[in-house]
Chains A and B, each alone.
Chain A
Amino acid sequence: MNFIEFVFYVYIFVTLYMTSLLIFLWYPNKKKLYEHPSGKPIPVSIVMPCYNESKTLVEAIDSLMHLDYPKEMLEIIVVDDMSKDNSVEIVNQMIKKYPGKIRLIVNSRNSGGAAEPTNIGVKAAKYDFVAVTDADSMPQSDALIKMIGFLQHDKKVAAVTCAVMAKGNKTFMQRIQMLEYSIIAWNRKLLDCVDAVYVTPGPFAVYKKSALLEVGLFDTKNLTQDIEIVWKLLSHGYIARMCLATRVYSETPEKFRKWWKQRIRWNIGGTQCIVKYRKLIFKNGMLGAFIIPFFSFSLFLGLFGLGIFTYLFIKRIIIKYLSVKYAVYGGATLLRFQDLSIQPTVLNFFGIALLLWGFVFTMIGLEIMGMRKKPEANIFNILFYLLIYLTIYPSIMVTALTKYIRGKYSW
């Protein structure tokens, strides 16, 4: 076995371990996944950072106003980050539609991210519990009441997230993201079983305002402030919870280019978090014991794997190209029967076994998330997700890391 083969076996082991871990978390907890502590309605401020969201603002605010929650206990604070479209005008119309329920704060500058307007909103919030939502997201009506109980029943819980589901299904990219978001939500709930929720995504999350203020609010320099805030809370001894019993639907990129840009941003943000909290590795409970090593190791494996794959792929292409070129020149046969013959190797068998295992894992996830019978969850889409979509990630990591090192990144 040479070095490259050894690396392949390490990859197989790690992949098998991570999926097995999630299965071992799922099986004993499968009846409890949708459980949530009963919550007692208490006043909540909902902060909605907004930048050029005119297309989705009305629907987003309407969905908040239709939450199954006493309206007198809600205030909505929209913080506009100097939008160039008519977002402010739309918010003013919504203020008239729901008098006394919505406040508009216009930031004095465009901050270029969601963290600064969110912090402005949190500081302005009247209540002790603060929900943060994106202006293109629509929580289910039961979202707040099901999530609030987590914060009320455990003093250590400072943040709660719910299942973020992809809203649109117009394009192929969006349909694949529907599968991805479902699996991510399921996995996040499983990580909740070991106190390892590492992000409270922007679409909808509820926090204790006191905890946010204590840790210094959202990091305005981080491109994924929703990951960073959880790491910061964890480093201060708090924990985050995941409520699978409710959902928020969020817009997803329709085209590959926007999707790529979004994922680059997520990966740069993740890298910023690793760098910022690197000293906590193997310290501070699950943050240091699992989350930081998991993120770091994933980044390392992704980059290293892509490097090896690229090396082998380019070498093979060059050898094939040159030998075909020589064969054309020399009048030799271009393709022989033995070129097509494939002898099964152990790696082949491991690869196939891993694909089948991944397929079963995905199907379980889709079943639990109620997605399995949806038209988007057809065999072609699932195989595309497993074989193509997920394999693009290492390329995203490389691009993100390059941008991070060069310091050329923005929201």
Chain B
Amino acid sequence: MSKHAFWKAFIFTAIIFGFGLILGFFLEGFQSDNIYSKLIDSELNLLDDQLTHEIINDYNVSCVQARVSLFAFADKIYSEAVELEEIDGIGRLGDLTVLHKRYDLLRALLLKESKNLKERCGNDFHIITYFYLYNSQNIEISSKQNYFSRVLYDLKELHSDTVLLIPIASDTGLSSVDLLTNALNIHTYPSIIIDDAIVTTENPTLTELEEKLVF
């Protein structure tokens, strides 16, 4: 009789499984660290941008330079957000909510900075804010969000020089974002805001969105 095999197999499985989990944490930690270092870099960039705008204000430095800097920063955190979405798929052991929140906070600050720049340096670009739900289990909302991110991605590709795209998750519990959505009277998700005016909560076509981009 080999009845000890039951315990041996259990211990063996627990060791292998535990080893796999440790490797998994290591792998995910590596992925998260990568994003985290980018986040720190982006936070520094934002501080740098805020200082830049104050210098622009105080010393009348070129708005063009500030605009280029802001767009580059917005594009950078947009691509980082995409990367974060990719690693945040099913099967993760760890939770990335805190990382998402920090990015959302960063984007909320970016929105504020963009408005400041727009006021100070003139109305030659559009701020498109896309409010969505990070934790939605609703199929209709998930499908819409999937589409919204596609159509906004296309819009950004077509008008990269005049469109500043800022996606913000509204359900991560950030009081500043809650305040912002209340101020903008947003109760339906996903929602697209162009220059502080609600454009749509329904599925807009690319052409319809382009038509809104007038100065």
Q: How many A-B residue pairs have CB under 8 A?
A: 132
Asked if A28 is an interface residue, CB under 8 A from chain B, the answer is yes
- The residue among B24, B144, B146, B147 with the most chain A CB atoms within 10 A of its own CB is B147
* Chain B residue nearest in CB terms to A330: B205
A21 touches B139 (CB 8 A): no
Q: What is the CB-to-nearest-CB distance from A391 to chain B, in angstroms, rounded to a whole number?
A: 18
- Which of A106-114, A268-276, A340-348 forms part of the interface with chain B? A340-348
Q: Is A213 interfacial (CB-CB < 8 Å)?
A: no
Q: C-beta contact mask, A326-360 vs B, less than 8 Å → 1, else 0?
A: 11011111101010010111111110010000000
Interface residues on chain A, size class: 35 or more
Instruction: Tell me whether A17 and B27 are in contact in the complex, defined as CB-CB below 8 angstroms, given that A331-B205, A331-B207 are known contacts.
Output: no
The stretch from A69-77, A159-167, A217-225, A315-323 touching chain B is A315-323
Q: B151–A20 contact, CB under 8 A?
A: no
Which of A4, A195, A332 lies in contact with B150, CB distance below 8 A? Answer: A332
A residues near B206, Cβ cutoff 8 Å? 330-332
Most buried by B among A330, A331, A344: A330
Q: Determine whether the beta carbon of A332 is less than 8 Å from that of B143.
A: no
B residues near A256, Cβ cutoff 8 Å: none
Chain B residues contacting A4 (CB-CB under 8 Å) are: 90
What 0/1 pattern do residues 76 to 103 of B give for CB contact below 8 A with A?
A: 0000001000110111110100000000
- Taking a contact as CB atoms under 8 Å apart, the answer to whether B93 and A346 are in contact is yes
A204 CB, nearest partner CB in chain B, Å: 26
Residue of B nearest to A16 (CB): B13
Contact status A327-B151, CB under 8 Å: yes
With A and B bound together, what is the CA distance between A406 and B137 in angstroms?
Answer: 34
Q: A319-B142, A349-B24 are in contact. Are A338 and B89 (CB under 8 A)?
A: no
In the assembled complex, the Cα of A10 lies from the Cα of B20 at a distance in Å of 13
**A212–B163 CA distance with the chains assembled, in angstroms:** 83
Which residue in chain B gives the minimum CB-CB distance to A315?
A: B139
B1-29 with Cβ < 8 A to chain A: 1-3, 5-6, 8-10, 12-13, 16-17, 20-21, 23-25, 27-28
Q: Is the CB of B8 within 8 A of A332?
A: no
Q: How far is the CB of B128 from chain A (nearest CB, A)?
A: 14
The answer to whether B5 touches A193, judged by C-beta atoms less than 8 angstroms apart, is yes
* Docked-complex contact A194 and B139, CB < 8 angstroms: no
Once the chains bind, are A333 and B150 in contact (CB under 8 Å)?
Answer: yes
Give bound CA distance, A326 to B207, whole Å: 13
- How far, in angstroms, from A318 to B150 measured CA to CA in the complex? 17
Q: How far is the CA of A346 from the CA of B90 in the complex (A)?
A: 9
Which of B139-178 touch A at CB < 8 Å? 139-140, 142-144, 146-147, 150-151, 153-154
Q: Give the CA-CA distance A399 to B58 in the complex, in Å.
A: 75
Complex Cα gap A195–B17 (Å) = 28
Q: Verify A346–B1 contact, CB threshold 8 A.
A: no
Q: Does B116 touch A at the CB level, under 8 Å?
A: no
- From the candidates A323, A331, A343, A344, name the one contacting B146 in the complex (CB within 8 A): A323
User: Within 8 Å of chain A (Cβ to Cβ): is B31?
Assistant: yes
Given A16-B16, A330-B147, A332-B206, verify A346-B28 contact (CB < 8 Å). yes
* Contacting residues of chain A (186-213) with chain B, CB-CB under 8 angstroms: 193-195
B203 within 8 A of A: yes
Q: Which residues of A contact B3 (CB under 8 A)?
A: 194
Residue of B with least CB distance to A195:
B1
| Bound: A343/B32 CA distance, A | 12
- The answer, among A16, A318, A349, for a CB contact under 8 Å with B27, is A349
A28, B147: Cα distance in complex, Å: 58
Residue of A319, A332, A333 ringed by the most chain B CB atoms within 10 A:
A332
Residues of A within 8 A of B (CB): 1, 4-5, 8, 12-13, 16-17, 20-21, 23-25, 28-29, 193-195, 290, 315, 318-323, 326-327, 329-334, 336, 338, 341, 343-350, 353
Q: A5-B90, A326-B147, A326-B203 are in contact. List 12 more A-B contacts (CB 8 A).
A: A1-B92, A16-B16, A29-B2, A315-B139, A319-B142, A321-B143, A322-B140, A327-B150, A332-B206, A336-B150, A345-B28, A347-B90
A sample of 8 cross-chain residue pairs with beta-carbon separation below 8 angstroms, ordered by A number, consists of A25-B5, A193-B5, A318-B139, A326-B143, A327-B150, A345-B92, A346-B28, A346-B92
